[in-house]
């Protein structure tokens, strides 16, 4: 737990420049304070009546109990609970197909850990075509609940070391890493309480599922090696989900925090802390040539984003070989941010293309009815006094309408905050300037950094 360093960094800022760094009252600074503020209580429901199945635990780090785990879930299926007691270790050394589940719970107080035999997993893990994903296992079925204070450990260090220097979206990348938790065709799936730790790649990927919830979950990916970062360890990604809720989660990973991708409907996030992430993203969407995709009816509220890249973000692909679709009815509300680059970012030129290519092949996604409401905190100064950047597609067929800011008060450590807006029909409801205007260029030039110092701010 390196929570103290966030405390030092943030409080640091508070000491030097009071207006840039004071955590708002009551904000936890580490996992322990998160648990203290949002205590996890296992909701047993009619759990007392469920039959309890136990399995043998691992004797050491190579003692694979994958077969026992599978058998345990088979026995617990249809009304039972697989019980993994505290302080027990369960090593999984081969892929598991768990898509047969129907009314099953896992009372997960122990630790489930994957082996780190990287060549074995690369040859044997399940695969999904989306961004060339690998998965350790597949969960699926209906009425599935994982709950407890245990750990799901991806044992990611070796994977991050071996991936160092590579890029996941590089079409030539052949070093694939598994996703820690994958579910497909799940109906009424709940994960509560557990700590998802050190995923090799994305932490959760949920596909073609309805009624999915994550509550009181802790998600971390922390490298012990400064030259191999826990890259692409996104907290949450999805395709084709309906009715998704996330409540009270603590995330400290490297990449997107919560980022539903193609086809998400009715999404609600309430109370999420993200440290060191690429931001709270919608998408990316529109990646694949000719593919139709959408994100609609989303509320993301009560979010603290610290020490990351961007804040509230929507990213849609542009370029010669991309897809089309829409993003509609998205509200980002009550965001507090410290030390991020753009606190709000609508990027219609994703991924890695230059301005002339984006202008020649603009995004084909409609973006409508997006609200950024009640934003506060401060940026890192990387983009000078520009604290937000909203760019609509220049494609005349891609509607970009009703993008609004309300009660937006994110400050820049470099001077009076400026909002950049390009191609936004009807304006943002607040002052903004074009990024290539004199004011926009000056804002981007006036970079600075947030000073370090110390402070003794306590959250309560």
Ligand X SMILES: *[C@@H]1O[C@H](CO)[C@@H](O)[C@H](O)[C@H]1NC(C)=O
Q: Which residues bind ligand X (CB under 6 A)?
A: 2-3, 5-6, 19, 29-30, 59-60, 62-63, 141-142, 161, 164, 185, 187, 225, 227-228, 239-240, 252, 262-263, 266, 275-276, 291-293, 297, 299, 307, 324-326, 329, 334, 354, 356-357, 366, 374, 376, 399, 409, 411, 422, 434, 436
Between residues 204 and 262, which has the closer beta carbon with respect to ligand X? 262
Between residues 48 and 354, which has the closer beta carbon with respect to ligand X? 354
Between residues 153 and 284, which has the closer beta carbon with respect to ligand X? 284
Between residues 122 and 357, which has the closer beta carbon with respect to ligand X? 357
Q: For ligand X, which residue has the nearest CB?
A: 6
Q: How far is the CB of 266 from ligand X (least distance, A)?
A: 5
Q: Tokens representing 341?
A: 């680059």
Q: How far is the CB of 337 from ligand X (least distance, A)?
A: 11
Between residues 436 and 449, which has the closer beta carbon with respect to ligand X? 436
Catalytic pick from 255, 256, 347, 422?
Answer: 255
Largest CA-CA distance found in the chain, in angstroms, rounded: 70
Q: How far is the CB of 48 from ligand X (least distance, A)?
A: 26
State residue 134 phi and psi, 5-degree precision: -110, 155
Catalytic pick from 107, 147, 195, 278?
Answer: 278
Q: Tokens representing 286?
A: 């529109």
Q: How many residues does the chain have?
A: 460
Q: How far is the CB of 175 from ligand X (least distance, A)?
A: 11
- Contact of 241 with 210, CB cutoff 8 Å: yes
Which of 352, 405, 397, 400 lies closest to 374 in space, CA to CA? 405
> How far is it, in rounded angstroms, from Cα 399 to Cα 44?
48
Q: Tokens representing 310?
A: 């961007």
Between residues 48 and 258, which has the closer beta carbon with respect to ligand X? 258
Respond yes or no: is residue 255 known to be catalytic: yes
Helix, strand, or coil (residue 353): coil
CA 425-430-436 angle, to 5 degrees, is 65
Q: How far is the CB of 397 from ligand X (least distance, A)?
A: 7
DSSP string, 198-255: --SS-SEEEEEEEEEEEES-EEE---S-TTS--BT--SEEEEEEEEEEEEEEEEE-BS
- Contact of 190 with 147, CB cutoff 8 Å: yes
- Count of other CB atoms within 10 angstroms of residue 235: 29
- Contact of 113 with 155, CB cutoff 8 Å: yes
Q: Tokens representing 96?
A: 């598991």
Respond yes or no: is residue 38 known to be catalytic: no
> How far is it, in rounded angstroms, from Cα 338 to Cα 335?
10
> How far is it, in rounded angstroms, from Cα 239 to Cα 102?
22
User: In degrees to the nearest 10, what's the CA dihedral of 352, 353, 355, 357?
Assistant: -170
Between residues 4 and 44, which has the closer beta carbon with respect to ligand X? 4
- Count of other CB atoms within 10 angstroms of residue 403: 24
Q: How far is the CB of 204 from ligand X (least distance, A)?
A: 16
Q: How far is the CB of 307 from ligand X (least distance, A)?
A: 5
Q: Provide the annotated active-site residues.
A: 255, 278
């Amino acid at each position: 737990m390196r929570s103290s360093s966030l405390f030092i960094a943030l409080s640091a800022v508070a000491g030097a420049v009071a207006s840039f760094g004071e955590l708002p009252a009551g904000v936890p600074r580490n996992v322990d304070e998160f648990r203290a503020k949002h205590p996890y209580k296992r909701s047993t429901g009619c759990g007392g009546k469920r039959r309890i199945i136990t399995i043998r635990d691992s004797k050491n780090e190579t003692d694979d109990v994958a077969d026992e785990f599978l058998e345990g879930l088979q026995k617990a299926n249809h009304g039972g609970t697989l019980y993994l007691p505290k302080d027990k270790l369960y090593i999984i050394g081969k892929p598991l197909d768990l898509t047969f589940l129907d009314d099953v719970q896992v009372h997960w107080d122990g630790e489930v850990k994957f082996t780190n035999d990287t060549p074995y997993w690369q040859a044997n893990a399940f695969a999904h075509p989306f961004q060339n994903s690998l998965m350790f296992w597949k969960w699926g079925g209906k009425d599935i609940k994982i709950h407890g204070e245990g750990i799901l450990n991806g044992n990611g260090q070796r994977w991050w070391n071996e991936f160092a220097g590579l890029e996941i979206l590089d079409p030539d990348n052949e070093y694939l890493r598994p996703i820690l938790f994958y579910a497909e065709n799940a109906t009424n799936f709940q994960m509560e309480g557990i700590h998802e730790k050190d995923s090799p790649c994305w932490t959760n990927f949920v596909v073609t599922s309805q009624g999915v919830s994550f509550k009181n979950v802790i998600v971390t990916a922390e490298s012990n090696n400064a030259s191999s970062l826990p890259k692409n360890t996104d907290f949450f990604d999805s395709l084709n989900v309906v009715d998704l809720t996330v409540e009270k989660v603590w995330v400290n990973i490297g990449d997107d925090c919560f980022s539903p991708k193609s086809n998400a409907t009715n999404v609600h996030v309430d109370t999420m802390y993200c440290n060191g992430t690429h931001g709270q993203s919608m998408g990316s969407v529109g990646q694949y040539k000719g593919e139709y995709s959408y994100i609609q009816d989303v509320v993301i509220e009560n979010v603290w984003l610290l020490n990351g890249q961007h804040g509230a973000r929507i990213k849609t692909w542009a370029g010669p070989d991309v897809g089309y679709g829409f993003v509609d009815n998205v509200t980002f509300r009550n965001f507090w941010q410290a030390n991020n680059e753009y606190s709000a970012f609508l990027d219609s030129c994703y991924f890695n293309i230059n301005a002339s290519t984006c202008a020649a092949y603009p995004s084909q996604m409609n973006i409508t009815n997006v609200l950024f409401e009640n934003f506060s905190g401060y940026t890192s100064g990387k983009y000078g006094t520009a604290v937000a950047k909203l760019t609509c597609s220049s494609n005349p067929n891609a509607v970009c309408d009703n993008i609004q800011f309300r009660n937006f008060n994110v400050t820049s450590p470099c001077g009076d905050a400026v909002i950049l807006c390009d191609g936004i029909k009807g304006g943002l409801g607040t002052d903004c300037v074009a990024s290539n205007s004199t004011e926009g260029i000056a804002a981007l030039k006036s970079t600075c950094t947030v000073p370090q110092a110390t402070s003794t701010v306590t959250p309560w």
